[in-house]
Amino acid sequence: MKRLAVYCGSATPADPRYMELAREVGRTLAEAGIGTVYGGGRLGLMGAVATGALEGGGEVIGIIPEALASSEVANHDCTELYKVSGMHERKARFTDLSDGFVTLPGGVGTMDELWEAVSWAQLGYHTKPVGLLNAFGFYDHLIAFNKRMSEVGFIRPAHQNIIVAADNIGTLLERLRSYTAHTPIFQMSAKDL
């Protein structure tokens, strides 16, 4: 893995553990020789991930929509900062520039990015691992919900392990490195659907 897209919030939660976690993730990726591709912002967890990666001597590629870049939230300290037309182009660039995804705690935008990465993997637009960093049990309910969707039959058996979860970045990186790609829907026969 040369680069990972990191999905996380631009908010700064009151609990300082989240900002510390984001900085640790950026630093850990840099120390492992993995570049960080992220949302290009300087605020909240996004900014902390970039700061950690840059402090660790890593590559940081920011991808930010022009509307946000012009509102002075862009992080100009990035190794490279791409300004794109909107969110669709931003997410396509995340996928094109990375070898996998790591999702940190976040809100609606983070969920949008996570589920699109999972959906695209199911379909076959990419075969990259989709990681979920369940620090502090933040994603316990989401993991349970994903399991429930599988139990009911809304997620096919072939796709039940697309989300790779761990509660710390070291274990998550190990699991992402050993990920075996699933059979995407585009390659399945009608009887398997």
Q: What is the DSSP string of 82-105?
A: EEESSHHHHHHHHHHH-S-EEE-S
* b/e 135-157 (16+ beta carbons within 10 angstroms → b): beebbeebeeebeeeeeeeebee
Q: Does residue 91 sit within a domain?
A: yes
Is 148 within the bounds of a domain? yes
Q: Is residue 69 one of the residues assigned to a domain?
A: yes
Check residue 188 and give its pLDDT.
Answer: 77
Domain interval for residue 17: 3-177
Number of domains within the chain: 1
Look-up: residue for tokens 């094109």? Answer: 96
Tell me, what's the pLDDT at 183? Answer: 85
Has residue 187 been placed in a domain?
no
State the pLDDT at residue 189: 77
Q: Which residues contact 52 (CB under 8 A, 6 or more apart)?
A: 22, 23, 24, 25, 26, 27, 28, 30
The position carrying tokens 């039959």 is 153
- Asked whether residue 190 is domain-assigned, the answer is no
| 42 is a domain residue | yes
CATH number for 163: 3.40.50.450
Please identify every stretch of the chain with a pLDDT value under 50, giving residue numbers as ranges.
none
Alpha carbon distance 96, 100 (integer Å) = 10
* 193 domain-assigned: no
pLDDT digits 0-9 by tens, 14-65: 999 999 999 999 999 999 999 999 999 999 999 999 999 999 999 999 999 9
- pLDDT at position 187 is 84
Considering the domain boundaries, does residue 98 fall inside one? yes
